[in-house]
Amino acid sequence: MLNNKTIWITGASSGIGEACAYLFAKEKANLILTATRVDKLQEVQCKCVNMGAQCVILPYDLSDLENIDELTDKAIASFGKIDTAFLNAGISQRSKTLDTSFKVDEKIMIVNFFAPVKIAKRLLPSMIENGGGTIAVTSSISGKFGFPLRSAYASSKFAVYGFFETVHAEYFNDNIRVVMVCPGRIRTNISYNALEADGRKHAKMDEGQDSGMSAEKAAKKIVRAIKKRKPEVLVGGKELIMVYIKRFLPGLSRRLVRKVSAT
């Protein structure tokens, strides 16, 4: 089904992005992989090629907004078009609002929101010209409700929902589909790489994260949703019930969130 389809994944060197890359590679997709760490990208690339996929790596730090148009142009040029973009790269947070440097707020918004927005705005014209395409974007259950120690992170994920659901509505008739990927607690390095109040890495695995769903299991659900072009996919464990409590019992949701451990 994905043979000769081109898929670009950001945040592809570990976690969900890496696990999804292997699943796409097994179906002989043409892959473009982006992340900051060249050595890790090369390892993932080698495994994907051994699975029979063509695979190009484009290392990049998405906090550099200035050259994202050039990055996107390189991605398009790699195989001549992009059928699916999985904008998965992101950075989390572990600090209370008043303790957090504005520079940290800014960096999180740049990586999680402005970078995928800029990629999408550059990518969409070529997708439309080629008859359509799919943009999958990693949000979070924190994009559904505010969460302690996540003020900037939750804000960025709320913003992602607003922008990309609008894209879905505006360009539906051009055969553009958006898949909102909404993870709960997945066992990845996201807590290890999260920013603390002064911008330093959290540098430890949170207990809740460590007991979460494996990246491989999450990837199976995500890849299935992307292939079916589903508007939204929730992935995780029992923590996903909070999404439904927020929807149907918002007062209870607010009380529960105040008591939830954020680590």
Task: Give the active site residues.
Answer: 153
Q: Where are the alpha helices (DSSP H) in the chain?
A: 15-26, 38-50, 68-79, 102-109, 115-129, 151-170, 190-193, 207-210, 215-228, 241-248, 250-259
The CA–CA distances, whole Å, from 88 to 34, 214, 245, 260 equal 10, 16, 26, 26
CA proximity to 112, closest of 157, 146, 144: 157
**At 201, is the secondary structure helix, strand, or coil?**
strand
Backbone φ and ψ of 148, nearest 5°? -55, 140
15: nearest Cα among 153, 143, 37, 231: 37
What is the rounded CA–CA span in Å between residue 47 and residue 53? 9
